[in-house]
A and B are shown apart, each in its own frame.
Chain A
């Protein structure tokens, strides 16, 4: 049995190495392209219906057991909605004044963002990685590091690996993911690093800087990502004695990702 195993081990290693080398150098990405092509349509169907099933079961569950909580949340949402409507009105006025000043000073208008609609066909989340696969690739002008957002300008992540027809999105809570962010009204700059389970750790927030729970976290625009994209809210602020920086974690808005329709922001 011993010699039989080592012989098999050697032969299987040769076969697998051949596949890996051909996939890397000869017919680049043929294996992954083939896999994703087979799984694309069933995957889109699965994620589409999974999102609907999750919404439906959440509605049934919460409406049965948490009626008073829903009523209170509803009132809070109405108040917040009114505040946001007045904010939108104020911003529209500022936008009009801005346009007028640009024309007066002959400053060109900023480019509008170009969005590429994409469908999710696979969610891949485990202890070490948090990614998803979408059905757009280099043929659709997608490139590595482009931002991926959900409806409502909520940042989901950035393109990590881009194939011909598909791309892998590195979600914000993946340990390999980092983003430059601004916190709260004061606009404190920090570095958001994924720590899994829909959480990011906000690094480089000094002890002097004032951050509190539920402060809004948005992108700062200082890195590759466009600015003012929503990330989440601060869930925990800690201070260890003797440390220069605070321990801050934020919960992401869109976790877990159940919306099958995302957008890639093209440069």
Chain B
């Protein structure tokens, strides 16, 4: 399980990164939901990590660009589907390759939910860049979480 102070630092860094990256013109995806997906996929104490993610999500929700509550609802849906996938498909026991595959699937789920109010072609057009950023973030965060938790990655 990730210790609370490491969790806080990572969330703070992600918050600052989300405020700074738009100025570079390189942003293609929100970072906090990616962090939530990676953490919940690999967490050994799902319940604790889930409510931490939801509480942090309430702060990011105010800066999502949508009405308050929209991002929180997406986090809830993601949390439930990841939990069901972990229980039914035992994905936490599988190889790093299948974990990566499930990560990509959950990123697509998150993008699809986030872009519910947008035209469909926009989802298809934005997916390649979003997935590319997600993969970079996945390797970066997995490395950080290996150093800061006692979970097996």
Cβ-defined partner of B23 (8 Å) among A50, A126, A176: A50
**Chain A contact residues, majority secondary structure:** mixed
Residues of A with C-beta under 8 A to B129? 127
| Stretch of B94-102, B114-122, B138-146 on the interface side | B114-122
Q: Are B50 and A128 in contact (CB under 8 A)?
A: no
* A interface residues, tally (CB under 8 Å): 48
Q: Are B24 and A256 in contact (CB under 8 A)?
A: yes
Answer whether A168 and B87 are a contact pair too, CB < 8 Å, given A4-B47, A35-B59.
no
Q: Are B23 and A175 in contact (CB under 8 A)?
A: no
Contact of A9 with B by CB under 8 A:
yes
Contact of A130 with B by CB under 8 A:
yes
Contact of B149 with A by CB under 8 A:
no
Place the interface of chain B in its size category: 35 or more
Cβ-defined partner of A127 (8 Å) among B20, B47, B58, B130: B130
Q: Are B76 and A13 in contact (CB under 8 A)?
A: yes
Residues of B with C-beta under 8 A to A129? 64-66
Q: Are A126 and B51 in contact (CB under 8 A)?
A: no
Q: Are A123 and B19 in contact (CB under 8 A)?
A: yes
Residues facing B in A28-79 (CB within 8 A) are: 29, 31-32, 35-36, 43, 46-47, 50-51, 54
Answer whether A197 and B63 are a contact pair too, CB < 8 Å, given A128-B114, A175-B119.
no
Q: Are A2 and B87 in contact (CB under 8 A)?
A: yes
Q: Are A127 and B23 in contact (CB under 8 A)?
A: no
Residues facing A in B27-73 (CB within 8 A) are: 27-30, 46-47, 50-51, 54, 58-59, 62-69, 72
Cβ distance B93 to chain A, nearest Cβ, rounded Å: 14
Cβ-defined partner of B62 (8 Å) among A35, A130, A176: A35
Q: Are B23 and A124 in contact (CB under 8 A)?
A: no
Answer whether A36 and B62 are a contact pair too, CB < 8 Å, given A23-B68, A123-B19, A127-B115.
yes
Residues of B with C-beta under 8 A to A2? 87
Residues of A with C-beta under 8 A to B20? 46, 50
Residues facing A in B76-119 (CB within 8 A) are: 76, 79-80, 83, 87, 111, 114-115, 117-119
Q: A127-B115, A130-B65, A256-B24 are in contact. List 19 more A-B contacts (CB 8 A).
A: A2-B87, A4-B47, A5-B83, A8-B50, A31-B62, A32-B62, A47-B23, A122-B19, A123-B19, A126-B64, A127-B111, A128-B115, A129-B64, A175-B119, A175-B122, A196-B122, A197-B25, A256-B22, A256-B23
Which A residues have a C-beta under 8 Å from some C-beta of B? 1-2, 4-5, 8-9, 12-13, 16, 19-20, 23-24, 29, 31-32, 35-36, 43, 46-47, 50-51, 54, 122-131, 133, 161, 168, 174-176, 195-198, 255-258
